[in-house]
Amino acid sequence: MSGASYKDSGVNLDIYNESMERLPRLMHRTFSPRVMQLDGGFAGLFRLDFDNPLFRRNYRQPTLVSCTDGVGTKLKVASLANRHTTVGIDLVAMCVNDAICCGAEPLFFLDYVAMSHDDPDLLEQIVSGISDGCLQADCALLGGETAIMPDLYQRGDYDLAGFCVGVVEKRKLITGSAIIPGDVLIGISSSGVHSNGYSLVRKIVFEIAGHHVDEQIPELGETVADALLRPTLIYSAAVRKILAHYRVKDVVHGIAHITGGGLGENIERILPPQVDIEIDCNTWKRPPVFPWMQRLGNVATDEMYRVFNMGIGLVLIVRPRHVEAICRMLDREQLQSQVIGKVVAGSRQVILSNQ
């Protein structure tokens, strides 16, 4: 009688090694010369600065900015639809979009993939999305971890976490402390639901309304899967160009990534105590997925604005004289933007009108 093996417990090291062999090419396509390649090493190496005219930054007081996040139960929709190539983009977006709120340049990204069993094809699909997201964010996929845990996850289930590190000169940190009355809010459009509120999304769409993931929805002009799996937009390239354009002038006073908590809670996080924000919700058009879900679930409007981004994925709080120029820059980056509100004297509240 043979003894117990790792394979008997649900982990096949031969298949695991096959999975690992597929990943280096997806990482290498994101590398810049600042990455010091160390395939098979225990860590990833990245040069913060070095003597090359193209990549030299000449930092004086470099400040590292770190972020971590996940994709949440949007993964359940991906599994229902058997589409796994875009949730990696969501993972990168949720991290790098937070990093840029401090004015940081995203440098590198790490991922953690937890799976129920070894599945090289599934892992390759997931990491291909992460690689795509890193290319969009102009950061290196420096490494990661894949954990096979059959006792923690039902077969076919998986979870993702991501970790981003960026850098910004200390004097160029954006914290919101510079926000003053008279500043203007530029709302940059989202692609849809992005990656927050999917417990409510799934309850409305699948439990209450009884829709199927491949069902065509005339009101949306696409299938349920198309609407709910559209990846989160990555705003880092556009924001970096804006900040680079105003390298000397103090133009951008605050940046808020609109995730769980909606416009109100996410903008409030960066406000100094002496100001309020007034937002007119009639200034932008909501993507059709939001009124569709609100109708299906009979969801209160306040709840919709508290849970979802409602069509605004990122907010820039800027000096008024530069609004038109910034909107033109965003348009060149193929991002829709509009003025959605203003800063007034107050007591750190976000006031939404015409919801």
**pLDDT by residue (tens digit) across 299-312?**
999 999 999 999 99
For 232-278, the pLDDT digits (tens) are 999 999 999 999 999 888 999 999 999 999 999 999 999 999 999 99
pTM: 0.94
* 88 touches 96 (CB < 8 A): no
The pairing of beta strand 275-280 with beta strand 337-345: antiparallel
Domains of the chain in start order, with CATH, are 7-172 (3.30.1330.10), 184-353 (3.90.650.10)
Return the pLDDT at 2.
63
Rounded to 5 degrees, φ, ψ at 79 are -70, -40
Alpha-carbon dihedral 212, 214, 215, 219, rounded to 10 degrees: 110
Mutual orientation of helices 13-21 and 120-137 as an angle, nearest 10°?
Answer: 30
58 burial (CB, 10 Å; 0-12 / 13-18 / 19+) is exposed
Tokens 């002496």 — which residue? 274
* Sites in the chain below the pLDDT cut of 50: none
Q: How far apart are CA 112 and CA 110, in angstroms?
A: 7
In this predicted structure, what is the pLDDT of residue 58? 87
State the number of CA atoms in the 13 A half-sphere of 234 facing the CB. 26
Question: What is the share, in percent, of the chain residues with pLDDT greater than 70?
Answer: 99
